[in-house]
Amino acid sequence: MRRKIVAGNWKMNKTPAEAKVLAAEIANALGAAPCPVEVVVCPPYIDLPAVTETLAGTQIGVGAQNMHNEPKGAFTGEIAASMLQEIGVKYVILGHSERRTYFADTDATVNAKTKAALAAGFTPIVCVGETLEERESGKTETVVTTQIRGSLADLGADIAKVVVAYEPVWAIGTGKTATPAQAQEVHALIRKTLAEMAGEETAQSIRIQYGGSMKPENAAELMAQPDIDGGLIGGAALKADSFLAIVKAGC
């Protein structure tokens, strides 16, 4: 039985003071209504100390939105795993489509970062997904399986520790959600690919989140699909009430 995982990707939103307020609101609301879903928030780097401090002692985990694969050195503007470790970060989103599109992340760099994240003891949340053009030209299967095979190559038994997020690019921030059937079809394809890479038993244990305009109104139906094990939430994660409503939809 896979434990559902709902993570909020705050993207480039919230100052440290605002982040502290939102984290406290989420913790207060969740504290009153415990549920078996694993809950994670991923604020911008600069907010991480305030948020890990605010959420210390709660059941809510904290993640970064990216990291570098090298342990330290001349990489201006980058952040290493040890820096995140020291402030209590336990998760890291890797290969988000915005990183792939605007910051040149590739399957190879995502793979290197995933290995470094696993070595640091983090749970990597590795994102894949096709663009609208790729979907309309019938390339979804090729694009997604190539991303999975490349981003998760050579992880050995550690592949079981990864969370995969399927985020169709055309559904991110557009209000256009994949239908539960569309999402389930790709989630099943991802699980089949994971089985080919790591065996059926391991594939059955790996959580696959859906992301892309997930909101309180559609979360329950999406998470009821057999291969959808939670959500990676953008816009709706920026307000405690909508984020909590999505968490509860998975309870």
Are 42 and 246 spatial neighbours (Cβ–Cβ below 8 Å)? no
CA-based torsion, 203, 115, 6, 238: positive or negative:
negative
In the set 38, 96, 98, 187, the catalytic residue is: 96
**Span from 33-41, 44-52, 56-64, 167-175 in contact with ligand 13P (CB under 6 A):** 167-175
Please identify which residue in 38, 167, 227, 229 interacts with ligand 13P, judged by CB under 6 A: 167
Query: Among 9, 69, 114, 193, which residue sits at the site for ligand 13P (rule: CB under 6 A)?
Result: 9
Beta strands in 37-139 (DSSP E): 38-42, 60-64, 91-94, 123-128
- Residues 101-140: x where in contact with ligand 13P by CB under 6 A, - otherwise, as a string: ----------------------------------------
Site membership for ligand 13P, residue 235 (CB under 6 A): yes
Encoded amino acid at 150, one letter: G
For 107-137, letters b (16+ CB in 10 Å) and e give bebbbbbbbbbbebebbbbbbbbbbeebbee
Residue 168 as a binder of ligand 13P (CB under 6 A): the answer is no
Tell me the torsion sign for CA atoms 41, 46, 50, 53.
positive
Q: Quick one: which of 124, 212, 230, 250 contacts ligand 13P (CB under 6 A)?
A: 212
Active site includes 96? yes
Question: Does residue number 95 form part of the binding site for ligand 13P (CB under 6 A)?
Answer: no
The reply to whether 167 belongs to the active site is yes
d(C-alpha 197, C-alpha 126), whole Å = 16
Which positions lie near ligand 13P, rule CB under 6 A?
9, 96, 167, 172-173, 211-214, 232-236
Q: Which residues are catalytic?
A: 96, 167
